[in-house]
Amino acid sequence: MIAGYCLLIAEFMLSFRAKIAFYLEDVTTAIGLTVNLLILALILLSLGIYVAQTYPLSATWQMWLRQLDWGILSLFSLEYLIRFWCAESKLGFVFNIFSILDLLSILPLFFGFFDIRFFRIFRWFRILRVIRFFGSDLSIFQIKTSDQIVFTRILLTLFSIIFVYAGLIYQIEHPINPQVYRTFFDAFYFAVVTMTTVGFGDVTPLSDGGKMVTVLMILTGVLLIPLQISTLTKQLLKSGTQTDYPCPDCGLPRHDMDANFCKNCGAKLLKKPD
């Protein structure tokens, strides 16, 4: 009898865990969409809070923002533990790139109890968590065509990297050069100018760490921006050889002009695209 109850409980827990794992990744159902949009909203809110904290605010506002930030970090930590619990392969989860980014983003919650200010830079990796929502299906943002998906991913990638670099340079340079790197916007401006290799020279780093980050910015800009532009150009050229003709089975909206079968499901196209 006891063994039967234990078996029922084990089956229930497995089913419950699978359902939680599904909703954490799903954006097609109402529950999954709500959960993922809530996580996305918390990510953006946490970033907005830290940007606001770089500006001169009253002590009351600073206290409220700090408490709200710790609350969001606690929720992120809970989310990480839930994802770890739901993962079929624990080792695979730990070394997954998104899991590593999630872990980096919650490190300030644990190191915040000590005076290790360097680890505050990891909070800027929260922006990279947004990439999780741009893996395959972007219909929740009304982004459905291939052109829109590629363009959105390029913008997201560039913005994420610039945002992280701006956070790094601000954390390194602000303590020793507060007149130049006054707020996060100053650091963001420097990151954009540096990565695009414009180099006005009106904002420059003083520390060795800041100079090293600047070198990384330049290298990233030189390597990444042309690559992203090339990807976008290829997609635009590819779109020029396609026509708007939906598949009668899966509904794929675009096909090559000479296509006879759907490249997504293999169904025969009833009418050859013009």
pLDDT per residue over 20-70, tens digit each? Answer: 888 777 767 788 778 877 887 888 888 888 889 889 889 899 899 989 988
SS3 of 272, please? coil
Alpha-carbon distances, residue 97 vs 94, 136, 150, 152 (angstroms): 8, 16, 20, 20
Rounded to 5 degrees, φ, ψ at 256 are -60, 150
Query: Above pLDDT 70, what percent of the chain?
Result: 65
What is the radius of gyration, based on Cα positions, of the chain? 23
Longest pairwise C-alpha distance within the chain = 77
pLDDT digits (tens, 9 = 90+) for 2-24: 666 666 665 656 677 888 888 77
Q: CA-CA distance, 157 to 225, in Å (whole number)?
A: 10
Q: CA-CA distance, 234 to 227, in Å (whole number)?
A: 11
Q: CA-CA distance, 92 to 245, in Å (whole number)?
A: 40
123/198: higher pLDDT: 198
Question: Residue 230's pLDDT is what?
Answer: 77
Say how many residues make up the chain: 274
Q: Is the pLDDT of residue 273 over 50?
A: no
Question: Region 235-251: what's the mean pLDDT?
Answer: 63
Which token pair is 217? 């910015």
pTM of the complete model beyond 0.75: no
Q: CA-CA distance, 203 to 191, in Å (whole number)?
A: 10
Which token pair is 241? 């050889």
pLDDT band, residue 190 (cuts 50/70/90): very high
